[in-house]
């Protein structure tokens, strides 16, 4: 079977038949943002399958093959990963490395074995070198080690780019990747210990308002980030699926001029929550990497007129979703 498959050259531009798009991690933040957009602008030439962790263990090759055999996808958007916030990444570096290496290897190998025409994996800006010049771009991924705070997750994600190129050069597979900046939006993970910064602050602000307590922000609040609304990312993933033909990755991000500090984000969340209490900073906690400014010049060449949702509007919508769905939100 492997020898037979090795001679197969994959073509991602053959859309004469129905596209069956299987999304791993379909219940997560990015998967839900993608699903909202798919349902908003449906296509009769596409059938979408959103998998969750309950469907099968993607770190197990046999279980992953069962899913591919069942759904027979022509295209895959690979979002599934072991994820967490800064402090979880710092504590469980080996777990993040091993689990994500296993997941990625199973998914990509099955994409090859089952002749998937195109696979798009989701990376992260944390894969870029810690010591670098700014803005970072797609050519700089492997120029040095990532920041020490999350090197396990970062290296596992970085190696997807290596695997994509190896599968393409050896077998002609069309495997590529996107690199979104810091994603947030409805359906996020709001766990107070393991979440990323915006959902964590939304949950803490909700509780602070409810209990009449200060909102405590971990770190100085001076770290800078480019935040990407999950609904915007959903639109960009669909564009990538239908139009992006490179093997090399592409950064999906707001512009450099839209970078904001954690302190500003905390203020916007407090305003969106109508929180009138004090905002304090616990400076004994790490800020993590101070900045990782990414260039979206490549994206703008392809989509010069794409309009991102203004961050204040996106935060307001995210806060409103959390308040309205507090009982069922992941936390």
Which positions are catalytic? 153
Q: How far apart are CA 50 and CA 40, in angstroms?
A: 15
* Residue recorded with tokens 């564009």: 239
**Rg of the chain over all Cα atoms, to the nearest angstrom:** 20
From the list 94, 118, 96, the residue with the least C-alpha distance to 108 is 118
* CA-CA-CA-CA torsion sign (17, 22, 27, 33): negative
Query: What is the number of alpha carbons within 13 Å of residue 227 lying toward its C-beta?
Result: 24
Q: How far apart are CA 104 and CA 330, in angstroms?
A: 24
From the list 54, 44, 152, 166, the residue with the least C-alpha distance to 111 is 166
* CA-CA-CA-CA torsion sign (94, 31, 48, 308): negative
From the list 109, 112, 50, 38, the residue with the least C-alpha distance to 80 is 50
Give φ, ψ of 90 to 5 degrees.
-70, -30
From the list 152, 48, 49, the residue with the least C-alpha distance to 102 is 152
From the list 118, 110, 104, 106, the residue with the least C-alpha distance to 162 is 104
């Amino acid at each position: 079977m492997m020898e037979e498959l090795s001679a197969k050259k994959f073509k991602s531009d053959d859309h004469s038949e129905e596209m069956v798009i299987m999304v791993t991690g379909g219940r997560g933040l990015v998967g839900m943002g993608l699903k909202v957009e798919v349902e908003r602008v449906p296509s009769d030439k596409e059938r979408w399958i959103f998998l969750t962790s309950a469907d099968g263990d993607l770190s197990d090759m046999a279980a992953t093959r069962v899913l591919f055999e069942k759904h027979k996808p022509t295209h895959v958007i690979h979002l599934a990963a072991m994820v967490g916030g800064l402090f979880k990444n710092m504590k469980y570096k080996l777990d993040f490395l091993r689990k994500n290496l296993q997941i990625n290897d199973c998914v990509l190998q099955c994409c090859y074995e089952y002749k998937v025409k195109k696979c798009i994996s989701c990376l992260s800006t944390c894969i870029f070198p810690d010591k670098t010049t700014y803005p970072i771009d797609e050519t700089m991924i492997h120029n040095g080690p990532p920041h020490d705070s999350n090197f396990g997750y970062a290296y596992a994600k970085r190696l997807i780019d290596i695997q994509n190129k190896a599968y393409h050069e050896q077998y002609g597979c069309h495997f590529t990747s996107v690199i979104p900046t810091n994603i947030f939006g409805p359906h996020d993970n709001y766990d107070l210990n393991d979440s990323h910064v915006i959902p964590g602050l939304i949950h803490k602000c909700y509780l602070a308002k409810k209990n009449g307590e200060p909102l405590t922000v971990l770190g100085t609040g001076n770290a800078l980030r480019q935040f990407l609304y999950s609904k915007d990312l959903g639109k960009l993933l669909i564009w990538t699926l239908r139009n992006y033909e490179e093997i090399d990755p592409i950064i999906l991000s707001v512009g450099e001029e839209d970078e904001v500090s954690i302190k500003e984000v905390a203020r916007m969340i407090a305003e969106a929550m109508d929180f009138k209490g004090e905002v304090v900073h616990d400076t004994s906690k790490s800020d993590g990497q101070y900045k990782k400014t990414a260039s979206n010049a490549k994206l703008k060449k392809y989509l010069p007129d794409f309009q991102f949702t203004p961050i204040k509007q996106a935060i307001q919508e995210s806060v409103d979703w959390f308040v309205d769905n507090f009982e069922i939100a992941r936390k």
